[in-house]
Structures are given as structure tokens and as C-alpha cells.
Chain A
Amino acid sequence: MSDAQTPRVNELEKGSWPSFVKEIKRAAEKHPAAGDLLRQLELSYAEKVGHWKHGGIVGVKGYGGGVIGRYSDKPEEFPHVKEFHTMRVNQPSGWFYTTKALRELCDIWDKYGSGLTNFHGSTGDIILLGTTTQNLQPCFDELSDAGFDLGGSGGGLRTPSACVGPARCEFSCIDTLDVCHSLTLEFQDFLHRPQWPYKFKIKVAGCPNDCVASIARADFAIIGTWKGPIQIDHAAVAEYAQNGLSIQEEVVEKCPTRALAWDSERKELKLKPEDCVRCMHCINKMPKALRPGEQRGATLLVGGKATILKSAFLGWVIVPFMELKPPYTELKDLLRKIFDWWDENGKNRERIGELIYRVGMRTFLKAVGLPPAPQMVFRPRANPYVFWWPEEVKRNA
């Protein structure tokens, strides 16, 4: 395509960081849609406004989600992006690929789409960016033959995602990849056929470092943790000290609960296990020397989300500790109860966290059968407006 048509966006080919504009131009060599996308972007840069029409419902047979309909509001000017729908493809747990699988995806997308992708979308899917309504079904048919299914969209379960976990991280307290895969398979129907008040995201992190940001981004966060003392290899601690790590300054003084002490003469790290809140800092600093405790499981949190509508929420602890062993029956049963309660009680476009905020945590806990625990709150209530269940008080007949 001619550079003269896109003087503004061409500016983004300059600079050290790899350029998405170069990528669009590469795709445009084979796909006219990519060229029109760039020309439409140039218009947006000139006018400071987007040029996609509102929404649009398109899909593939048997599914209600997984495709985002998109239409240009300037179809005469940019005919090749008149229809420019996105397909969300469910990524393998942990975003691992063989090159064979990736090449197959690329070949299918060159055949049916714009040749443009996101690796990955911010929820975790492989994003195939831009195709026509007509091409959706044949594209999905070939993806399906190649072993790739669609991800979630709309008011339903969104594609769950997981950190690298036990595949390549010594911190992981749970099998994040397997939990993610197992939940994805278990709840396929909710993923492919949106039937809920709004979106529901599940993310699985192997440890409290939370590399998939589950506590901020997931309606249901599964975060690996442990019980029992951190395991200490004292010789390895001494080695870190010898190699220049200031254990006092960089480890002990950063411990949020002062659970650690460093005897610099005896080169000994002492831990008060009852004070440790498993924040990961000391383990992060000395992975050769420290490991999570032996009894492994997960903390479960509910309600995390971005702003729309009732402000952003971080996930709230609802199960301080659950052991997670295949087939994860207890976890799946709990999720099913949560889905049912939310589906029954949530208003249109009300996330689970907002519903809990509206009706109260006690109502939620009772509905899904979870016992209250002090780990669920930073501190108890300070106001006296306590609600009592009918059976807890005597009433005159």
C-alpha cells in the first residue's frame, strides 16, 4: 500500500519498540482488509475519533459467543473493513504452543481473515482480528478441525486463564494449568452460550505474586498458597548473604509482619511461622533458599473487576484455604452454586461483586453455603446496624 495515504500513522514506524504499524502493513501485502484498517486508523488519527459502528451480533452455528461483530462506519471509503469481526480463540493453558499449532492457526487465518492477530487479548484469548460475516463459519470449521475452540464473549463465562504455574515456576502451590483446563472444559456451555447477567472471569495464579492479576481482573480468583512454615535451606541463605544480598535490609526489613529475623553472625534466618502472611517477598528474593510450606492449596476470592459500574473491586476472600486435587469437585460445586445464585439474583449487567455489594456478603455466604471466617475481612464492622436472620430472634405470635 502507498505510504502517502497514511502520513500520521507512519510516524509510529519510527522508534526502538517494534511497530504495530509495520505489522499492519505486512498483513496488507496479502490482505486488502489490513490496508483499509490502517487507512481508517489514519482517519481516526486525523479526526481523533473511532470509526467502528456500535456492536453487531454475528457468530458461528451452535454458539452464542466467541465472535465480536464489528462494522466500519465508513464502508464506502473502506470497503474491505465494512465487516471486520474478531474471533476469540481459546488459548492453551499457560500460553504454551508448539510451532506446528501456531503455523496451522496462521494458515487458517491467512485463508479466512485479515492476517492480523493479537497474541493475546487481555483476557487471554488468541485474538483473530478482522474477517467477514461470510468467512466466520468456514474459519471456525477449520479451527475446529485443527483442535482450536472459540473463547467467551458477552454475558457469560469468559475464557479462563492461568499463570505458567508448575510448568516452569518453583513457586506454584497448585497445578494452575490443569485447574484452568479442567474448569474450562467443565463449563463449556456457559463459555459458548452466554446466559448470565454479565461477564464472569476466572483466573488461576500459582502463588500470591499473582502473575495473571487474578485479584484485580477476575470475578473468581484462585490463588495458590500454603499452610505451615516456609521451608528454609540455611546453607543456601548463607550463600545469598555471601554473594552480596543484604538479608537484613532487602529481606527482613521488608517483611510486612516482622516474621523474620537475621542473625548475621551465625548467618541464620529465623522465622516466626505464626506471623507469616505468605506474601512471597522473602521467597522472591531468595528462591534457592526458601520455598512455600508443605501443605499446598488455594485461597479463593470473589468480586474482582474493573470500574464499570460501581467502581473497581479487588477480589474478596471467601474461602481462605481449599485443597485442589483433580477432579476439583469441591471447587466446581462451589462455582456452580455461585453461578446459580448470581444468575437468579443479578440484574442485567451486574457483576457478581456488585450483586454481593448490593445484597450483602452474609446473604451471599448463606446462599452458597460458606461459613464466615475472620480471614474474610481486614476488621469487623464498626456500625451497629446488624441484620439478624428470622430464626435468630424470637417474635411475638
Chain B
Amino acid sequence: MPRTDFGPPHYMEMLPPVIKRNYGRWKYHEILRPGVLKHVAESGEEIYSVRVGSPRLVSTDFIREVCDLADKYCDGYVRFTSRHNIEFLVTNKENIEPLIQEVKAKGWPVGGTGNCLSNMVHTQGWIHCHTPATDASGIVKAVMDELYEYFVEEKLPAKLRISLACCLNMCGAVHCSDIAILGVHRTPPRVDHELLAKVSEIPTVVASCPTGAIRPNPKLKSVEVNEERCMYCGNCFTMSPAMQIMDPENDGVSIWVGGKVSNARTAPMFSRLAIPYLPNNPPRWPEVVEAVKKLVEVWATHARKGERMGEWIERIGWETFFKLADIPFTDKHIDDFIFSVPTFRTTTQFRW
């Protein structure tokens, strides 16, 4: 038997000596240029971090290439960020430039700091998920190609965090992003009665529905769906393979805006619906890419310095946002689930 329940390697084993020496005693940092951070400790010691964008889905040989660079320039230490970027940790200032040159020669982008677009957090999509309404890596690649300049140059009003989840489960927790790309199902599950009778417990499937749209069908030893009540969440499919929710004709992508997680200035905010549906159009999803780019540009044009997307929209009002973004406002934008009421306007104050 192998050892079990010993947990991850201790983080101290993974830290460069300069970090061990100055752990908890950092004094300040500066962004020297997009993708290069300088942290200075109370002791006066310095560490430079070179941030590099990664496709996240990478081969072992990619990781070995990262290791080769870290061995050459960083004494064998490297870290990753919460948004899938690579950070090369450099103690010798002289190593920064040659490292960046080698990184760029490989075609890897350096950036993602300060008021840049950071890497996109995303889910698995068609690569590895069993309920996706869209792909993940493909859209991310197409969007990041289009917005590349915003990753490598610092020219936005504030931070920009774009995320993608391939169905309403929102495994990528996109619900608090400046721009969220979310795969959506739009049709009720199709019940495979024969399969359901064989593999699923009826009460479990019935209980899985948040809107009570599923009821037992004793005759077929199966269930039936009240289609008017179904909101296509797919929770029943997670519980039973006989409730197929994927629908290539109707599945697609929605776009949400204005979320943030940081407490800086304003409290954390949810992203809210901007575009209810765009078609799945692989391999490069041109409609999605164009919509995201337009949203970034309208924000960058109109926001004040330092204003995140949601802060800008809250200042100008959502009615103005829809006008400036040239997005039609539809009945889909008005919430009708359980927490809808606080989103209805209860004042005569609004803009024309």
C-alpha cells in the first residue's frame, strides 16, 4: 500500500531562499512594466516576478520548458497564479531581460499585471466535461488572441478579469467577473425512459429539480418533465444520465458583465446579463469574440481612470450601459428566479 492522507508537499520546501529569508517581511512592490513585478523586503532584498500567460491545458513538455527556464534564470523555482499564469521568480536583476527574451522567443506573452487583462479562468468544456453547453479552451484561445494587446500592454482603465464556464454549473465561478462567458442550455432534458428505469432512483431525480418540474411517471417507471417550468440548469442530468440536456441545435453562449471579487473601493459584485444568447460557432466563435471585444472597448472608452467595468456601469446606470454598448434590452434581462424582486426598480430616479 502506498502512503495515504499525508497532504500536499509542505510549501516551505517549494520556496526560493530569498522568500524564506523574507517571509512575511515584504515592504512594498512596484510594477516595473507589464508583467514584471519588483517586491522589496524590509531587509532590502529584492525579488522580481515575471508573469507569463499560459494556455492552462499544457503538455508535460511545456512544463519541462518552464522548468528549463526556471533552472537557468530562477535557481529552480517557479510559481503559478490563481489565474493560471506562470510566475518566474528572479533574484538576480540581470536575469530579467534574457529570461523575457527567451520567453518571447517561445511565443509566450509577458504581462497580465496592474491594469492589464489577466489570463482567463475557465472550465474544461468539450475537452473533459459531460454536461457542457459549449467548449472552453477554444473560446478562451479565440478571445485571448483578439485581446492579446490588453494582456501585454497596460492601457485599460482598471483591472480586467474575464472568465468562462461551459454550463450553468459555473464550475469556473464566473459569476463575479468583469466579463463572464457562460455556456447555456435552452431546451429541457430529453428523458430516456428505458435507461432511467434501469440506472436511476426516481425520487433522487425528482428531488434534483430546483423548480419542481420533474414528476414521477409510475407507468413507465420513469419521470416526466413539465417543460414550462424547466430552466435548463442540468442538475437532473448530473443525477441521471437518462436526462440528456446537451442540444447541439440550441446550446450556446451568454455574456455577463460588471462583476468583481475584490473589496477595493466597492463591495464585491455579481456579473449581470448583457447578452442572453450567441450561437456556438466553432472553431473560433466570431460572434462571442466580437461581443467581448466591443464590451472591453466601450468600457475602456467611457470609464474613468481606476473604474472597474461594474463600477463604471453602476455610476452611469444600466440603462445608459445598454445604450452605449448598443445591446438590446429584452425580457430575458429581467430576473424571474427566486431573488428577482430586489432587482426591480422601486424609484422614479433613472436616466433616459
- CB-CB < 8 A to A325: which residues of B? none
B298 at the interface (CB under 8 A from A): no
Question: Closest CB-CB distance, A383 to chain B, in whole Å?
Answer: 12
Contacts A15-B145, A314-B268 given; does A24 touch B67 at CB 8 Å: no
A395 at the interface (CB under 8 A from B): no
Q: Which residue from chain B places its CB closest to the CB of A166 in the assembled complex?
A: B24
Contact B2 A168 (CB under 8 A): no
Contact A12 B79 (CB under 8 A): no
Q: Which residue from chain B places its CB closest to the CB of A306 in the assembled complex?
A: B170
In residues 47-90 of chain A, which contact B (Cβ within 8 Å)? Answer: 47-55, 61-63, 68, 70, 84, 86, 90
A230 at the interface (CB under 8 A from B): no
Contact pick for A54, options B123, B148, B241, CB 8 Å: B241
In residues 328-353 of chain A, which contact B (Cβ within 8 Å)? Answer: 347-349
Question: Closest CB-CB distance, A333 to chain B, in whole Å?
Answer: 20
A189 to B80, CA, bound (A): 27
In residues 40-88 of chain B, which contact A (Cβ within 8 Å)? Answer: 47, 49, 53-64, 66-67, 70-71, 76-82, 84, 86
Contact B233 A163 (CB under 8 A): no
A314 to B263, CA, bound (A): 12
Contact A119 B54 (CB under 8 A): yes
Contact A170 B9 (CB under 8 A): no
Contacts A54-B130, A122-B123, A307-B175 given; does A95 touch B26 at CB 8 Å: no
A135 to B318, CA, bound (A): 53
Category for how many chain A residues contact B: 35 or more
A161 to B169, CA, bound (A): 20
Contacts A17-B145, A209-B263 given; does A96 touch B11 at CB 8 Å: yes
Contact B8 A70 (CB under 8 A): no
Residues 299-330 of A, flagged 1 when their CB comes within 8 A of B and 0 if not, give 00000001111111010000000000000000
A359 at the interface (CB under 8 A from B): no
Q: Which residue from chain A places its CB closest to the CB of B169 in the assembled complex?
A: A308
Contacts A23-B58, A23-B62 given; does A97 touch B82 at CB 8 Å: no
A188 to B3, CA, bound (A): 13
Contact pick for A279, options B122, B239, B264, B338, CB 8 Å: B264
Among the listed stretches A100-108, A366-374, A386-394, which one makes contact with chain B, having 4 or more residues with CB under 8 Å of it?
A100-108
In residues 261-303 of chain B, which contact A (Cβ within 8 Å)? Answer: 261-266, 268, 270, 280, 282-284
Contact A106 B63 (CB under 8 A): yes
A208 to B165, CA, bound (A): 25
Among the listed stretches A177-185, A258-266, A268-276, which one makes contact with chain B, having 4 or more residues with CB under 8 Å of it?
A177-185
Among the listed stretches B131-139, B222-230, B326-334, which one makes contact with chain A, having 4 or more residues with CB under 8 Å of it?
B131-139
Question: Closest CB-CB distance, B196 to chain A, in whole Å?
Answer: 12
Among the listed stretches B94-102, B202-210, B213-221, B344-352, which one makes contact with chain A, having 4 or more residues with CB under 8 Å of it?
B202-210
A14 to B144, CA, bound (A): 12
Contacts A16-B148, A116-B57, A168-B19 given; does A281 touch B265 at CB 8 Å: yes
- CB-CB < 8 A to B266: which residues of A? 256
In residues 112-129 of chain A, which contact B (Cβ within 8 Å)? Answer: 115-120, 122, 124, 129
**Which of B39, B62, B148 neighbours the largest number of chain A CB atoms within 10 Å of its CB?**
B62
Contact pick for B144, options A17, A92, A170, A175, CB 8 Å: A17
Contact A17 B55 (CB under 8 A): yes
Contact B2 A287 (CB under 8 A): no
Q: Which residue from chain A places its CB closest to the CB of B335 in the assembled complex?
A: A311
- CB-CB < 8 A to B237: which residues of A? 54
- CB-CB < 8 A to B64: which residues of A? 102-103, 106
- CB-CB < 8 A to A166: which residues of B? 23-24, 26
Question: Closest CB-CB distance, B240 to chain A, in whole Å?
Answer: 8
Residues 146-177 of B, flagged 1 when their CB comes within 8 A of A and 0 if not, give 00100100000000000001001111111110
Contact pick for A97, options B19, B77, B169, B248, CB 8 Å: B77
A347 to B187, CA, bound (A): 27
- CB-CB < 8 A to B174: which residues of A? 306
Contact B270 A90 (CB under 8 A): no
What number of B residues sit within 8 Å (CB to CB) of A? 116
Residues 1-42 of B, flagged 1 when their CB comes within 8 A of A and 0 if not, give 111111111110111000100011011111000000001000
B306 at the interface (CB under 8 A from A): yes
A110 to B60, CA, bound (A): 7
Contact A99 B2 (CB under 8 A): no
Contact A208 B145 (CB under 8 A): no
A377 at the interface (CB under 8 A from B): no
Contact A314 B23 (CB under 8 A): no
- CB-CB < 8 A to B9: which residues of A? 92, 101, 147-148
Question: Closest CB-CB distance, B7 to chain A, in whole Å?
Answer: 5
Contact pick for B261, options A9, A98, A216, CB 8 Å: A216
A115 to B55, CA, bound (A): 15
Question: Closest CB-CB distance, A105 to chain B, in whole Å?
Answer: 8
Contact B8 A93 (CB under 8 A): yes
Question: Closest CB-CB distance, A166 to chain B, in whole Å?
Answer: 4
Contacts A16-B109, A310-B338 given; does A86 touch B59 at CB 8 Å: no
Contact B60 A117 (CB under 8 A): yes
Question: Closest CB-CB distance, A229 to chain B, in whole Å?
Answer: 18
- CB-CB < 8 A to A124: which residues of B? 82
Can you list 12 residue pairs at the A/B interface with Cβ under 8 Å?
A: A17-B148, A18-B53, A23-B62, A41-B126, A49-B247, A54-B130, A103-B64, A115-B59, A117-B58, A168-B19, A169-B39, A279-B263
Known contacts A21-B141, A45-B282, A129-B128; 17 additional CB pairs below 8 A are: A12-B284, A14-B145, A15-B148, A23-B62, A48-B251, A52-B129, A101-B14, A106-B64, A130-B128, A144-B6, A149-B7, A169-B39, A181-B11, A209-B263, A213-B82, A256-B266, A309-B235
Residue positions of A touching B, CB distance < 8 A: 8-9, 11-12, 14-21, 23-24, 26-27, 34, 37, 41, 44-45, 47-55, 61-63, 68, 70, 84, 86, 90-103, 105-107, 109-110, 115-120, 122, 124, 129-130, 140-141, 144-145, 147-149, 161, 163-164, 166-170, 172, 175, 177-178, 181, 184-185, 188-189, 192, 208-217, 223, 249-250, 254-256, 278-281, 284, 287-288, 306-312, 314, 347-349
Top 6 A-B residue pairs of the complex, sorted by shortest distance between their CB atoms: A15-B145, A54-B241, A306-B170, A166-B24, A208-B263, A144-B2
